[in-house]
Structure 1
């Protein structure tokens, strides 16, 4: 397993959301979660702050792709990142406008991403020594073993690999502070994915629900699992709680999260679900937290 000690720089007069994150102490068996929109989330546990697919710049809007909302923070606000996980190179996941600032302001933060992303990350200002390729073959232990991550192959919409057999798209399993979290990235439910995930006791899953269809495919929009598939997946895996992602950022590639809630309520009422407002703090508590 690879080791990383980490660290970040903290500036005075932080953005209120960043202050909230810094001041939130979560006991063992819990995680602090903040949703920034699309698939961008912040996770905190054991004193470690993890950004996953941070997408809060206006780079895409400058290129003509309009968002339906303003993000709750700007890139300049991010001063507390210990680790940044990137699932793939699409600009709403690897956002150069956000990462350029994040890597400059958080000089000791580690960035983990598929190998295909390395060149771009270094090009926009990342130190090569601080950029680590995601590894779907073995887990990576970070921060003196407080955090263990495992990259999970993702099919967006296909499983794609380079000549070295490294996956282009990934999700991540995080084992942190007594909680196992799965952030799927962009993916379909492909043959073999449930079997891979069943090796873990997933407490909290974060899944895309926007789906795909003929008309979006014709426009070149690459799809994901839909809300029915996401609901069935978490139910089959006996996941405790699920947070839907990737449903509200762009008008032509959206979904109603209420459909996902209805699907769970009607077919899998044992699965807990949280729909998060952008910028909302949610503290997840594993059922094992109070078993003694």
Structure 2
């Protein structure tokens, strides 16, 4: 399985069974180095509705004639934009095209502004994605919360993607504790260095993970990891 990081929280997962992209904030993020038109996937997965996560989801879904998976209100919003969708909600799981997706809690918010109006897009979430017998956990945008320990206990997580930017999500200290609780085989920091407000040192964070006996990978936009 190949995991390619496109900056911020965007992640492309490619396997022999399926290819999916999570939170495809590409064209609005000059550091991503990816063109939405070049993305070939079987599904688009969204953690929440903020513009830096919703990103190019609708365009990618239309280009690939594939569904967007999202919490109910977010899926409805994407459907109104002309995309195929699969309505989900927190705690629910489903299988599609060779993979299983389960939505987990996250502590954040989820909305988008159109004109002068904020549109509520349901609750934020994390994603457990299982394919080829391996499980990935994308925490989305979240604060540290105690049930991360339960997520780690109930699921054998091969790779976890954790925000470290602080200010808008948990920072490195809380993400380090989350990594301990999740007991993932590999941890990849995300949601940092996109904007000045979330500037962090991903290499330093991974060095701290190593001191805890945890494998950390500070991927740069466009870099991949095999798992």
Instruction: Report the TM-score when normalising by structure 1.
Output: 0.69
Counterpart in the other structure of 1:138: 92
Aligned partners of 2:164 and 2:172 also within 8 Å: yes
Counterpart in the other structure of 1:190: 145
SS at match of 2:203: helix
Structure 1 segments (4+ residues) deviating >4 Å: none
Aligned partners of 2:7 and 2:31 also within 8 Å: no
User: In the TM superposition, what are the counterparts of 1:1-292 in structure 2 within 5 Å?
Assistant: 31-58=1-28, 69-78=30-39, 80-95=40-55, 98-107=56-65, 109-126=66-83, 130-143=84-97, 146-156=98-108, 168-212=123-167, 223-266=168-211, 268=212, 270-284=213-227
SS at match of 2:19: strand
Distance in structure 2 (CA, Å) of the matches to 1:236 and 1:194: 4
Distance in structure 2 (CA, Å) of the matches to 1:43 and 1:188: 24
Deviations, residues 224-263 of structure 1 (Å, cap 9, x unaligned): 1111211222223322110000011112222221331232
Deviations, residues 93-128 of structure 1 (Å, cap 9, x unaligned): 011xx2232122111x121011121333123221xx
Distance in structure 2 (CA, Å) of the matches to 1:49 and 1:224: 27
> Over aligned residues, Cα RMSD in angstroms?
2.0
Distance in structure 2 (CA, Å) of the matches to 1:99 and 1:202: 25
- Over 3 Å counting, the alpha-carbon distance change for 1:280 and 1:188 in structure 2 is same
Greater strand proportion? 2
Distance in structure 2 (CA, Å) of the matches to 1:249 and 1:46: 31
SS at match of 1:198: helix
Could you tell me how far 1:157 is from its partner in structure 2? 6.3
Aligned partners of 1:103 and 1:125 also within 8 Å: no
Task: Give the gaps of 5 or more residues in structure 2.
Answer: 111-120
Aligned partners of 1:227 and 1:259 also within 8 Å: no
Distance in structure 2 (CA, Å) of the matches to 1:157 and 1:135: 15
SS at match of 1:93: helix
SS at match of 2:5: strand
Task: Give the gaps of 5 or more residues in structure 1.
Answer: 1-30, 59-66, 159-165, 213-222, 285-292
Aligned partners of 2:148 and 2:182 also within 8 Å: no
Aligned partners of 1:153 and 1:167 also within 8 Å: no
